[in-house]
Amino acid sequence: MSDPTGSAETPDWPEERGPHLPDAIARVPGPVWPFLALTVLAAFGRWQELSGLSLDSPIGVVSLIAGSVPPIVSPLLGVVLFARHPNAHRTMPSVAFGVVLFAVLTVVDRLREPILESIASLDPTFEATGPAYLGYGLVQALVSVFALTYLSIGLSDARRFEDSPGRRTVLLLLVAAAVGAPALSALLGFAWLSVQPLSSLVSVVSVLATNLAWAYLAWNAYRGWSAGEGPGTGWALAAGAGSGYLLIALLATMLSVFAWVSGASNSQPQLVYEVYLLLGAGLAGVWLALLAAFAVGLPAVEAEAGIADDPREVP
């Protein structure tokens, strides 16, 4: 119906919408979905692994739950990042590539057992210290190292303020912690160098590279936090995650030293084993802290920071 002027009347009711996805789903950025799917698959796979295990002690329960955190949190980092920054692949490409590698790490870790079992079934001479076993472990370490490195580079690129003075002591402590654990492990396993030289060398180099990558993350996050970058909580959590990983690595090595120096006893093996399980719970805390850092908005782009200039310049 139209009015005398010939213009069409506007109906008082909204027009019907055609077939469409629910608004809650449509609002989810596209890059989130692959990471979310991988998170669900990782959680389901872990559930299948745990469903057939017997939980006979509280420490064992804590260990199994803690062991489920890293493979689930790795792809979940991408979910949180792209949910807050849908264009992260453009605005912070290094960070985005880092979380992609973390998701790839979940796949690589998941495929380790079936791949090695397939190789063992085809090769009767397959050994746990053979080239395939060592090579796959090296691939896992390299993916982890590159993921941490790209993430650290991305955090450094996202910074807006200059470094604050007096941070060299922190850098030296991080490097010492990163190098100290594999160095002690190499000394304890010196006798194995003549028996399994390649295996020992690959193990030490992998641990050293991984520790240095976590130290690099902790260093860049600490620099951002000390310089007043936002969100401060996110930078602090990332720095705590990197430092926490190094602390756990040192404690695990010190536990090995204690077991080696004190010698075997009736109660010691069980005690050492339980402490190792508790360190696994601490490692889960490291991954949760890194996830929380992204959940609070790390790293903030300039528009989100709410300021264009260094606040320290305001009188």
**Under 8 Å between Cβ of 42 and 103:** no
Lowest-pLDDT choice from 126-130, 138-142, 208-212: 126-130
18 — phi, psi (to 5°)?
Answer: -75, -175
**Under 8 Å between Cβ of 169 and 237:** no
Is the pLDDT score of 154 beyond 80?
yes
Q: Mean of the pLDDT values across residues 214-240?
A: 95
Task: Pick the closest to residue 73 from 136, 137, 147 (CA basis).
Answer: 147
Residue type, 242: G
Is the pLDDT score of 164 beyond 80?
no
- The pLDDT tens digits for 74-122 are 999 999 999 989 999 999 999 999 999 999 999 999 899 888 888 878 8
pLDDT range class, residue 289, cuts 50, 70, 90: very high
**% helix / strand / coil in the chain, to the nearest 5?**
75, 0, 25
pTM here is 0.84
Residues 276 and 283: their CA atoms lie apart, in Å, by 11
How far are the Cα atoms of 236, 245, 269, 282, 287 from residue 290, in angstroms, in the given order? 10, 11, 32, 13, 5
In terms of Cβ atoms closer than 10 Å to its own Cβ (0-12, 13-18, 19+), residue 220 is: buried
At residue 8, the 3 state secondary structure works out as strand
At residue 134, the 3 state secondary structure works out as helix
